[in-house]
Amino acid sequence: MTLTRRQFIRNVSVAGGALTLGFQLTGCSAKPLQLGNATDFQPDAFLRIEPDGQVILQIPKAEMGQGVVTGMVTLVAEELEVHPSKVGYEMAPVHSAFTDPEMRLQITGGSASIRVYHEILRQVGASARETLIAAAMQQTGLSRDVLEARDGQVCSVDGSVNLPYAELVPAALNLPVVTDVALKTADQWQWIGRYEQRVDAAVKTDGSARFGMDAAPEGVLTAVLLRCPWFDGTVESFDAEEALQTPGVQAVFATEYGVAVVAEGYWPARQAAGKVKVSFTPPGGGLRDSTAINDALLAALDGDDFASVRDDPAVADAEQGTLVSGRYSVPFLAHAAMEPLNATCRLTADGCEIWVGSQAPDVAQDVASRVLGVPRDAVVIHNQFLGGGFGRRAAADNVAEVVAIARQLKRPVKLVWSREDDMRHDWYRPAMAGHIEARVHADGTVSHWQHRIAGPSINQQVLPVLMGAMFPQWVPGGARQLVGDFVGKKDFASVEGSKELPYAFDGVSVSCHNVPVPIPLGYWRSVGHSHNAFVVESFVDELAHAAGIDPVEFRRKHLPADSRERRVMDAAAEAANWGHAAAGRFQGIAVHDSFHSCVAQVVELSLVDGKPKLEHVYCAVDCGQVINPDIVKDQMIGGIVFALSAALHGEITLKDGAVVQSNYHDYPLLRQTDTPPMTVVLLESTAPPTGVGEPGTPPAPPALANALFAATGERQRRLPLRLG
């Protein structure tokens, strides 16, 4: 995992506009990056040190609670030899210097930020440090081997020289940046693996943190949008006579996305919106009701039009052993982040400025430029803190809407979605169905594992949007859709977590079938893992019971002795005192790999008056080298709360093509009173860091379903689960 020097330069070097990025498919040329002042020492796109010594890091990823700012600050601070609390940070502008080298977009997802950037950012810190030391060498005439960087200063080992970075900035900015640097070894780390304070905790505690919702350019008006309840309708006609009489209302007009109601503030806009009479074009064909969709998914499982994603031949005789089968299904889910979607737009002479909390600001920029009909460079994105993302804020439908409104209004405008808008116009986790059958043999071995997955492809819908920002804008939408349709036949998002089984089963085959629906779909925390882990780990439990073997013992039998999964599962089982639960307590286990990490969880229940009650969740994770232990634990716990909300309550249903649920009363989340105590074990590892934002989510639903089976003897194969 060592970057060559050339790769490093390709990733980070944009100083002076001399772009050397290898990836040039972004089409329109990127403007040279201009951050800070000419008197700042700016060794690369990520870092600058101002004349007063203030260090400022550009954060190329969205901070949506996962702690990426703290993680990135810690990595840079470690090598730069400054205390992490002294490192300032800014949300990076859209620029190819910040394009994720793996995903080819400036996107936050796939739990990839620290995995992809940990070495790059250490290099950034080390490179700045060595250049500052070079400046000190020039200034003092001392050689490199008698100088060291320590706590924001360059010091001589004999203590005679102590130069704060501030004093070295003027010299450093005239020196060539030292890029050939040695990174500190793990035994030299002060902060990596130890730093516990979130650097954004204070601003998120005193009310001063600014989210997209808080953008307030001068003279801004507030808009709300009346969208068609079904997803393929447009405005046919509307009557705004009464709405326009509401005090404070400025304008009511139709856009391609719905009828915009603009007022001085949210309240008059929302009040007036309630008085607009709109008719929309009638819904088209296709699957438009949840029950019809569920029936179609189950029917598809019995079809034969499946695309194979894995097909290992079995050695065992196909007639031997006991055939076990299970048919599972999961519903559509909403993201329901606490901050309803919003975006603010101000037109400029040649384009516009957008304030938004986005997981993909380059996608937002591309979408805005298309709506406005200007080059991408004419759109400036000011990325904000995200009041939750979970995948929802990788889409830019809110941005398209606000630009369409601003284009007609010609005044700065903030579009605010209501909670109802947010619930009813999400890009949903698709409903999915799965059928697995396998043979269990007398010795507990498993053969002929056949897993069929039927459901709508996310990437058939989403990739064409993302590719809009990835490719030059002259690439036609039809071509992007063709790629989406092609990927949709074998969508990796549909099958992830099903084909990479950690178990040594004999003859594994996995295949999928795309069932398109006229409902917007999107990435939802852990994406395909969110449903495939439920199906696979529930079914492994079924096999264990069919074999008459304890579920942990059964998994141990099939997980290679030296495997990461086995170590993680054993750690979770040990934390939970598996097999020795107190009287009246019932446990279920699940282990799942996702985003290069491995997580195992044990859910423990009791029965109160015959009704299951969550008592405790035990979690073990191997995510490679931990940067900030407290944040990793929080991500595991948060991922479990997110998963349990879905497993116990989450269900979006559709009627006549429109979403039925509207707010937190009919799409409930776990509350303080519902959340059981949890224990998280971080496994020691010196391997490079892997994902933590999503991997905590997939194992919880199957661990809960398995605990319910242990408690009640009833196997539940459909989410959400029923408690009693």
Partner 1 sequence: MLAFSLNERAVELEVDPETPLLWVLRDHLSLLGTRFGCGMGLCGACTVHLDGAAIRSCSTPVSLVAGRSVTTIEGLGGNHPVQRAWVEHNVPQCGYCQSGQIMSAAALLASNPQPDEDSIRQAMSGNLCRCGTYHKVQRAILSVAAVAHWEPVAEDVS
Cβ neighbourhood burial of 38 (10 Å; 0-12, 13-18, 19+): exposed
Scan for tokens 């730093």, then name that residue: 195
Query: Which residue lies nearer to partner 1 by CB, 205 or 237?
Result: 205
Site for partner 1 contains 244 (CB under 8 A): no
| Stretch binding partner 1 (CB under 8 A), from 27-35, 193-201, 426-434, 479-487 | 193-201
Residues 248, 607: Cα–Cα separation, whole Å: 56
Site for partner 1 contains 90 (CB under 8 A): no
Under 8 Å between Cβ of 87 and 73: yes
Q: Which of 42, 66, 179, 365 binds partner 1 (CB under 8 A)?
A: 66
C-alpha radius of gyration, the chain, whole number: 27
Residues 587, 565: Cα–Cα separation, whole Å: 19
x/- track of binding to partner 1 for residues 353-392 (CB under 8 A)? --------------------------------xxxxxx--
Query: Which residue lies nearer to partner 1 by CB, 238 or 266?
Result: 266
Site for partner 1 contains 201 (CB under 8 A): yes
Per DSSP, the residues of 557-623 read: HHS-TT-HHHHHHHHHHHHTTTT-PPTTEEEEEEEEEETTEEEEEEEEEEEETTEEEEEEEEEEEE-
Please state the closest distance from residue 210 (CB atom) to partner 1, in A.
Answer: 7
Scan for tokens 């998280």, then name that residue: 680
Q: Which of 216, 292, 299, 482 binds partner 1 (CB under 8 A)?
A: 216
Q: Which of 44, 496, 634, 694 binds partner 1 (CB under 8 A)?
A: 634
Scan for tokens 């269990």, then name that residue: 440
Site for partner 1 contains 441 (CB under 8 A): no
Residues 107, 558: Cα–Cα separation, whole Å: 37
Please state the closest distance from residue 113 (CB atom) to partner 1, in A.
Answer: 15
Please state the closest distance from residue 296 (CB atom) to partner 1, in A.
Answer: 31
Query: Which residue lies nearer to partner 1 by CB, 539 or 618?
Result: 618
All residues at 6 or more sequence positions from 274 whose CB lies less than 8 Å from its CB, including other chains: none
Query: Which residue lies nearer to partner 1 by CB, 96 or 661?
Result: 661
| Stretch binding partner 1 (CB under 8 A), from 42-50, 263-271, 274-282, 491-499 | 263-271
Query: Which residue lies nearer to partner 1 by CB, 202 or 479?
Result: 202
Kindly state the number of chain residues that form the binding site for partner 1, as judged by CB under 8 A: 65
Residues 69, 74: Cα–Cα separation, whole Å: 8
Query: Rule CB under 8 A: which of 303-342 touch partner 1?
Result: 336-340
Query: Rule CB under 8 A: which of 397-436 touch partner 1?
Result: 416, 418-419
Site for partner 1 contains 639 (CB under 8 A): yes
Please state the closest distance from residue 211 (CB atom) to partner 1, in A.
Answer: 6
Query: Which residue lies nearer to partner 1 by CB, 210 or 411?
Result: 210
Nearest C-alpha neighbor of 252 from the set 242, 264, 265, 262: 262
Scan for tokens 């949210």, then name that residue: 266
CB burial readout 144-169, b (16+ within 10 A) else e: eeebebeebbbbbeeeebebebbbbb
Query: Which residue lies nearer to partner 1 by CB, 67 or 588?
Result: 67
Site for partner 1 contains 608 (CB under 8 A): no
Query: Which residue lies nearer to partner 1 by CB, 388 or 551?
Result: 388
Query: Which residue lies nearer to partner 1 by CB, 331 or 387?
Result: 387
Query: Rule CB under 8 A: which of 646-685 touch partner 1?
Result: 663-665, 669-673, 675, 677-678
Query: Rule CB under 8 A: which of 613-632 touch partner 1?
Result: 630-631
Q: Dihedrals φ, ψ of 260, to 5°?
A: -90, 135
Under 8 Å between Cβ of 220 and 242: no
Site for partner 1 contains 40 (CB under 8 A): no
Residues 653, 272: Cα–Cα separation, whole Å: 28
Site for partner 1 contains 208 (CB under 8 A): yes
Under 8 Å between Cβ of 485 and 40: no
Long-range pairs for 20-26: beta carbons < 8 A, 24 or more residues apart: 21/96, 21/97, 21/99, 23/96, 23/99, 23/101, 23/104, 25/104, 25/470, 25/471, 25/472, 26/96, 26/99, 26/470, 26/472
Site for partner 1 contains 242 (CB under 8 A): no
Query: Which residue lies nearer to partner 1 by CB, 73 or 136?
Result: 73
Q: Which two tokens stand for residue 471?
A: 């490719």
Under 8 Å between Cβ of 466 and 107: yes
Nearest C-alpha neighbor of 492 from the set 527, 441, 520: 527
Q: Which of 15, 209, 244, 251 binds partner 1 (CB under 8 A)?
A: 209
Q: Is 580 left (phi over 0), alpha (psi -120 to 50) or beta?
A: alpha
Q: Which of 134, 512, 619, 637 binds partner 1 (CB under 8 A)?
A: 637
Residues 596, 621: Cα–Cα separation, whole Å: 11
**Cis omega (within 30 of 0) on the bond before 720?**
yes
Query: Which residue lies nearer to partner 1 by CB, 192 or 469?
Result: 192
Q: Which of 535, 581, 641, 708 binds partner 1 (CB under 8 A)?
A: 641
Q: Which of 265, 283, 444, 516 binds partner 1 (CB under 8 A)?
A: 265
Query: Which residue lies nearer to partner 1 by CB, 95 or 414?
Result: 414
| Stretch binding partner 1 (CB under 8 A), from 40-48, 60-68, 273-281, 399-407 | 60-68
Query: Which residue lies nearer to partner 1 by CB, 563 or 679?
Result: 679
Q: By the criterion CB under 8 A, which residues form the site for partner 1? A: 63-67, 196-198, 200-211, 213-214, 216, 222, 247-248, 264-268, 336-340, 385-390, 416, 418-419, 630-631, 634, 637-642, 663-665, 669-673, 675, 677-678
